[in-house]
Structure 1
Amino acid sequence: MAKVIGEGNYNNALEYNSNIKEVNELIISINKLAEKLNKQELLRKRLTTDISHELRTPITSMQGHLDAMIDGVWEITPQRLISIKEEVVRLGSLVGSLRNLAKFDNETSESNRKNTNLGELIQNIIYNYEAKALDKNISIDYELNNIYMNIDKNQFSQVIINLLSNAIKYTNKGGKIYIKLTLLK
């Protein structure tokens, strides 16, 4: 069984009963080890898939944005360049987070909270996804107020990106997406 586990096959369990107590305890320990290694392998595979998706998203956004400017579809403006820079910074942060994977094993992660203008942050994200929306002839209308909150910019951005990406993915061609940011009292 140790040889099987050593070859990376963690799904098997050792089925053997012995009259010797220590051998039975060893069998239980080996089966628990195989089970834990199997869970770690599944977690590693899921993490690899998630990381790939998280890295691909800002790269695709920047590429679409730059292609639209190079092709003359969009005018090169400071706002559009800032939104691309935000994606580069976010991508750098994601890559930096890969170095801290050990922290996730302990289910703890640091939060970098800063006072942030949510309206500006969301607008930059919208700019980065306009090309993706235009591919499906989807318009993105928005009404964003300047609301400041103490947030982790990267974590908040990821939430908005996931929402907007899914909205584009599941909105029919020629459809509309409306985003409104307002402070509820």
Structure 2
Amino acid sequence: MTIRRKLLIAFLFIAVLSSVVTTVLLSFTTRSLFDWYVQSNTEARATQWQRLLAAYYTERGSWDGVGALIRSTQFVRGRGGPRHLMMPPATAGPERIILADQTGRIIADSSGTDIGLFLTDMTIPSRLPITVNGEVVGSVAIVTGFQKGLMTLEAAFLRRMTTTSIIGGAIIALIGIGLAFIFSRHLSQPLSKLAIAARQMASGNFDVKLEVSTGDEMEEVAHAFNFMKDSLKANEEARHKLVADVAHELRTPLSVLRGNLESMQEGITEPTQETIVSLHDEVLRLSRIVQDLLNLGQMESGGFPLNLELTNIVEVITRVTSVFAAETDARGIRLETNIQGTLPHTQADPDRIVQVLVNLLANAVHHTPDGGEISVSASRIDDNIVVSVTDSGPGIAKEDLPHVFDRFYRTDRARDRAAGGTGLGLAIVKGIITAHKGSIRVESEPGVSTTFTFSLPVLPSD
């Protein structure tokens, strides 16, 4: 069931429920008000007779002749002029007055039917005692035909109110259906767009863009969807690029191996020592590419193994710079080490930090011209050990800086891949530093220098 249909049903249910509740409340309220009016009217009439009969008993000292007074009610209308004290109250319609003495026996009845019976045996709602000088001398009761007339009017009015409520409820239901149709369309239309866009994206179309301008949560969902779409598009492009780069990287050494092996099989070339060494180098190159890809996969999945121990970063720097000392001396490159102060130990995998420094220094040596300078510095800044490798090479173009840590990215596209390595070194460097909960960045000024800087957290006790 669609959301639009659910909303229509919900609005219709609310409209019908409101109509029913309104009808019931109106009927109950009207009946209560009519009952109260009838009861109040009857009690007011009984009070008037109570006062009149009390005055009659006070004046006469007994109930003698009271029957004539009570029977005269059918002739009294009393509208307009003043009444005598002994004149009965004006009636609003036919009514029956019943008077009983102090024993409860009826001594006067305007209808003349129940004289001699006891008032206590009759069910009469409006009955009041008559008190003279603190003594109950009788009681008066009123039965009016006006009550039946009111009940008839009440029933007619309630029927009219019920009919009106039903009609009003139907109108409310129609309005509710109209509003439900408008609101459901307003709410479901962005969801329909979202569903269509999701299906297009699932089919591989990442150029779709969801446009929703509702100013509410639906617009936030649309923005989140577009952000997710852009992220998936970027990941998909990166995946395609990775597959193409891996295929390209593997194709070169595989082509070399295949060509040489086929030449040997066909007797074109002899399996000399030099040829075997060349083929072995290509195999090592293939193994290195595969191992680097495996390491990157582990880094991205959070499963990259680290053998953490207390590590003296100064010893690591000294060990790595000594490896490159012979090459830099041969090319006249000045390799300097600058350690600022006494650095604390850090919790790290020393072999992986060596791998980081080897990659950074290898890149620096490769890009630094003969007679240039390379500087390795280390210092403590706040709660981090910061290590920088700076070379005086040609630098990195501004547009290349955001991509230097990407897989298979080369800043010098003119160099062949054999001379440029696998293109995975800096990506692995970043993965290793990130696995140590550190950070790495690069700064470069083309034609002047390039600086790679990474930081590692120090131990809390230090």
What is the alpha-carbon distance in structure 2 between the residues aligned to residue 157 and residue 99 of structure 1? 24
1:92 matches 2:287: yes
Q: Which residue of 1 aligns with 2:210?
A: 14
Q: Which amino acid is 2:419 matched to?
A: I
Q: Which amino acid aligns with 1:60?
A: S
Q: Distance in 1 between matches of 2:238 and 2:291?
A: 20
Structure 1 unmatched runs, 5+: 106-112, 119-149, 163-185
Is 1:75 aligned with 2:270?
yes
Given residue 44 of structure 1, which amino acid in structure 2 is its aligned partner? R
Partner of residue 48, structure 1: 243
Aligned pairs for 1:111-126 within 5 A: none
Deviation at 1:2, TM superposition (A): 3.5
For residue 212 of structure 2, what is the amino acid of its counterpart?
Y
**Structure-2 residue corresponding to 1:181:** none
Amino acid at match of 1:72: G
Match of 1:26 in 2: 221
Q: Distance in 1 between matches of 2:225 and 2:420?
A: 43
CA distance in 2, matches of 1:151, 1:78: 29
Report the equivalent of 2:198. Answer: 2
1:37 aligns with 2:296: no
> What one-letter code is carried by the residue in structure 1 that aligns with 2:262?
D
Separation in 1 of the partners of 2:233 and 2:282? 35
Paired residue secondary structure (1:18): coil
Letter of the 2:207 counterpart = N
Equivalent residue, structure 2, for 1:64 = 259
User: Percent identity over the alignment?
Assistant: 29
Residues of 2 paired with 1:25 and 1:11: CA distance? 19
What letter corresponds to residue 16 of structure 1 in structure 2? V
- Within 2, Cα distance between the matches of 1:48 and 1:67? 27
User: Secondary structure at the residue paired with 2:264?
Assistant: helix
Task: State the distance in 2 between where 1:151 and 1:104 align.
Answer: 24
Give deviations 1:33-64, integer Å, cap 9, x for gaps: 10111111111111111111111111110111
Shift of 1:92: 1.5
Separation of aligned partners in 1, 2:220 and 2:418: 47
Q: Which one of the candidate residues 126, 139, 160 is aligned to 2:419?
A: 160
Q: In the aligned structure 2, how far is the partner of 1:16 from the partner of 1:159?
A: 50
Higher share of residues assigned helix = 1
Q: 1:48 to 1:160 in 2, by over 3 A?
A: same
Question: How many residues in Structure 1 have an aligned counterpart in Structure 2?
Answer: 120
Alignment check: 8 A CA contact 2:212 2:218 kept: no
Superposition deviation, residue 161 in structure 1: 7.5
Structure 2 stretches of 5 or more lacking a match?
Answer: 1-196, 302-319, 328-360, 364-409, 422-462
SS of 2:251 mapped into structure 1: helix
Letter paired with 2:201: I
Amino acid at match of 2:205: N
Distance 1:104 1:52, change over 3 A: farther
Give me the TM-score of the superposition, normalised by structure 1. 0.53
**3-state SS of paired residue (1:99):** helix
Which residue is equivalent to 2:31? Answer: none
**Alpha-carbon distance in structure 2 between the residues aligned to 1:157 and 1:78:** 26
Larger of the two Rg values belongs to structure:
2
Q: Kindly tell me: are residues 30 and 161 of structure 1, through their superposed partners in 2, closer, same or farther at Cα, counting changes over 3 Å?
A: closer
For residues 245 and 280 of structure 2, the distance between their equivalents in structure 1, rounded to whole angstroms, comes to 23
* Residue 10 of structure 1, CA deviation: 2.1
Deviations 1:100-138 (A, max 9, x none): 334589xxxxxxx877xx9xxxxxxxxxxxxxxxxxxxx
Q: TM-score, normalised by structure 2?
A: 0.23
- Paired letter, 1:68: S
Following superposition, the deviation at residue 8 of structure 1 comes to 3.8
Partner of 1:129: none
| Alignment root-mean-square deviation, CA | 3.4
Q: Tell which deviates more after alignment, 65-74 or 28-37.
A: 65-74
